[in-house]
């Protein structure tokens, strides 16, 4: 069996792992690279395999860095099923079409701004490609066994990352050329996808796994610890109260449309319900986040039990906390005229695309306002530059000084920190024969691999590089 890493290594985006066995060839995830020009270039490069040779895709969750190149895969010849949980399938219905719309619009802009045709003048994929990919989705229930191939059985477990996210257990049977008795062997692989931080709002805790012959584990925050939830909420309370009550400005919250936007609404409602936040006017300025919130409400059965209570309270009261879901562009533009008293939650979470860039343009230069960054900011993104303390940024070609207060609320991450990752790994009864640390920036992945070797005494732990492979 051969395992090849086509993305999601030496970085936190573009997750794509290919498994080749005697009888089949499949992918785990097929994500888009994100974060600057170099990442965009990667999305146009050849896959490194023939899409028509891929029998099926096992998808861990809906985030674009795990799912975003599925339409391109289909456009280039992949015709097999894409297995995902029901909530993931629902989210993809809006996320892939939204992504396709962005690809088409950005390609139009690049074509108009250049005097000659280039490969980037064409979109990575179109809405039609996304629609075809959506037709190939097959729903998988948590904790139920599926058989994508006669030599493969899989079980999806709740990863506690976002709605519908999964850890995938896969038992692969193939010829054992070293065996004289049966001639067959079964190898169990575990693909962590993105592991959530335990005891966080909305989603349930990650499912513990006991055994694996080989393991792929994410390491986004494998080199650090998150702040405690109590400290995180205290900082969030201070940032909002200080901005609304003392500075009389706006609070701008770049948020991933799926997961983080819904979590922020939950936390703001819970803090207001407990008397820790003043009356608020909240604007959710992202059509995708609005649709994702509607989908979240349809999947209450797989959410954390405390969530229902807070959401029920929010629906019953509408005075102290007003939530407006902004849809059309004109309404979004009218938000630019608001100088104080608004909490604007908008996408993208890394500030690199979407309506959030407009809100940053109109608020980042105002000392009365505050920007709250609540998620991971990949290298090369606008959000990362703001975190790194630049004094000025360019947004839509305009120089914007950074005068607003900047808060980095790391404790809200949907990714497990080093301690939580180690806690999840500690449930394994024995060390996997091979552990591959993926989905982390190079230094972080190598640090976490060393920590696993040192603290868990696992011997065969490595952080693979892009397009690396392993024979198992």
What pLDDT digit, counting tens, does each position of 57-66 carry?
A: 999 999 999 9
How far, in Å, are 160, 310, 362, 393 from residue 385 at the CA level?
29, 35, 17, 8
Cis? peptide before 348, omega within 30° of 0 = yes
Classified as helix, coil or strand, 280 is strand
Average pLDDT over residues 138-158: 97
Q: Name the residue with higher pLDDT: 181 or 425.
A: 425
CATH number at residue 284: 3.40.50.10890
d(CA 200, CA 166): 16
Domain end call among 361, 387, 412: 412
Tens of pLDDT, residue by residue over 323-357, are 999 989 999 999 999 999 999 999 888 888 889 99
Q: Please answer whether residues 232 and 372 qualify as being in contact, where contact means their C-beta atoms are separated by less than 8 angstroms.
A: no
What pLDDT is stored for residue 179 in this prediction?
63
Classified as helix, coil or strand, 103 is helix
d(CA 2, CA 12): 22
d(CA 162, CA 263): 10
Structural domain including 375 reads 229-412
The 8-class DSSP code of residue 258 comes to T
211 shares a domain with 142: yes
Q: What is the DSSP string of 293-362?
A: HHHHHHTGGGB-HHHHHHHHHHHH--SSEEEEEE-SHHHHHHGGG--SSEEEEES-TTSSSSTHHHHHHH
What pLDDT is stored for residue 303 in this prediction?
87
SS3 assignment for 234-257: HHHHHHHHHHHHHHCCCEEEECCC
Number of Cβ within a 10 Å radius of residue 331: 13
Least confidently predicted of 89-93, 114-118, 306-310, 359-363 = 114-118
65 shares a domain with 149: yes
422 shares a domain with 371: no
Q: How many domains does the chain have?
A: 2
201 shares a domain with 256: no
How far, in Å, are 187, 212, 222, 258, 282 from residue 190 at the CA level?
10, 6, 18, 25, 40
333 shares a domain with 217: no
The 8-class DSSP code of residue 64 comes to H
Tens of pLDDT, residue by residue over 156-182, are 999 999 999 999 999 999 988 766 666
Closest-CA residue to 66 (of 42, 38, 33): 33
Tens of pLDDT, residue by residue over 254-305, are 998 888 999 999 999 999 999 999 999 999 999 999 999 999 989 988 988 8
Q: Give φ, ψ of 191 to 5 degrees.
A: -115, 110
Number of Cβ within a 10 Å radius of residue 45: 9
Q: What residues contact residue 365 under an 8 Å CB cut-off, 6+ apart?
A: 400, 401, 402, 403, 404
136 shares a domain with 22: yes
Cα torsion 357, 193, 299, 210: sign: negative
CATH number at residue 208: 3.60.15.10
pTM: 0.90
Q: Give φ, ψ of 90 to 5 degrees.
A: -65, -45
Share of the chain above pLDDT 70, in %: 97
d(CA 16, CA 325): 34
**Cα torsion through 155, 159, 161, 162, rounded to 10:** 40
Classified as helix, coil or strand, 400 is strand
Domain end call among 395, 412, 429: 412
What pLDDT is stored for residue 180 in this prediction?
62
Confidence bin at 115 (pLDDT 50/70/90) = low
258 shares a domain with 110: no
46 shares a domain with 180: yes
Q: Vertex 210, ends 209 and 215: CA angle to 5°?
A: 70
399 shares a domain with 263: yes
d(CA 63, CA 15): 10
Average pLDDT over residues 216-245: 95
239 shares a domain with 206: no
Confidence bin at 307 (pLDDT 50/70/90) = confident
Confidence bin at 54 (pLDDT 50/70/90) = very high
Domain end call among 412, 442, 457: 412
Q: Vertex 459, ends 456 and 462: CA angle to 5°?
A: 100
Q: Give φ, ψ of 355 to 5 degrees.
A: -70, -20
Please provide the size of the chain in residues.
472
259 shares a domain with 153: no
Largest CA distance in the chain: 77
Confidence bin at 116 (pLDDT 50/70/90) = low
What pLDDT is stored for residue 13 in this prediction?
92
392 shares a domain with 331: yes
């Amino acid at each position: 069996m051969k395992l090849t890493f086509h993305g999601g290594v030496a970085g936190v985006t573009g997750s794509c792992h290919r498994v080749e066995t005697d009888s089949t060839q499949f992918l785990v995830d097929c994500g888009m690279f994100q974060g600057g020009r170099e990442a965009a270039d990667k999305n146009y490069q050849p896959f490194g395999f023939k899409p028509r040779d891929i029998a099926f895709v096992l998808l861990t969750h809906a985030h674009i860095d795990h799912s975003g190149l599925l339409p391109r895969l289909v456009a280039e010849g992949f015709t097999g099923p894409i297995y995902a949980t029901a909530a993931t399938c629902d989210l993809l219905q809006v996320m892939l079409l939204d992504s396709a719309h962005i690809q088409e619009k950005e390609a139009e802009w690049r074509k108009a701004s250049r005097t000659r045709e280039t490969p980037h003048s064409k979109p990575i994929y179109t809405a039609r490609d996304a629609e075809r990919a959506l037709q190939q989705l097959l729903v998988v229930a948590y904790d139920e066994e599926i058989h994508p191939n006669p030599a493969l059985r899989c079980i999806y477990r709740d990863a506690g990352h976002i709605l519908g996210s999964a850890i995938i257990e896969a038992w692969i049977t193939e010829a054992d050329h070293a065996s004289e008795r049966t001639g067959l062997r079964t190898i169990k692989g575990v693909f962590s996808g993105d592991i959530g931080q335990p005891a966080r709002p909305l989603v349930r805790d990650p499912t513990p796994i006991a055994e694996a012959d080989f393991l792929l584990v994410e390491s986004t925050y494998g080199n650090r610890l998150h702040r405690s939830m109590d400290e995180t909420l205290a900082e969030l309370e201070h940032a909002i109260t200080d901005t609304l009550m003392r500075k009389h400005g706006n609070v701008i919250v770049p948020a991933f449309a799926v997961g983080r936007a819904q979590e922020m609404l939950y936390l703001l409602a819970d803090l207001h319900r407990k008397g820790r936040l003043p009356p608020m006017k909240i604007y959710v300025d992202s059509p995708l986040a609005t649709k994702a919130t509607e989908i979240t409400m349809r999947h209450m059965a797989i959410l954390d039990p405390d969530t229902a209570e807070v959401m029920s309270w929010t629906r019953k009261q509408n005075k102290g906390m007003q939530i407006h879901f902004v849809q059309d562009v004109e309404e979004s533009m009218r938000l630019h005229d608001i100088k104080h008293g608004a909490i604007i939650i908008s996408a993208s979470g890394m500030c690199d695309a979407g309506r959030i860039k407009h809100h940053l343009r109109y608020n980042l230069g105002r000392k009365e306002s505050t920007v709250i960054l609540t998620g991971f900011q990949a290298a090369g993104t606008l959000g990362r530059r703001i975190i790194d303390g630049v004094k000025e940024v360019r947004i839509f070609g305009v120089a914007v000084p950074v005068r607003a207060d900047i808060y980095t609320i790391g404790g809200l991450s949907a990714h497990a920190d080093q301690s939580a990752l180690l806690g999840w790994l500690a449930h394994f009864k024995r060390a996997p024969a091979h552990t591959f640390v993926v989905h982390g920036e190079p230094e972080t992945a190598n640090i976490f691999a060393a920590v696993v070797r040192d603290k868990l005494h696992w011997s065969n732990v490595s952080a693979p590089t892009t397009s690396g492979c392993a024979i198992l």
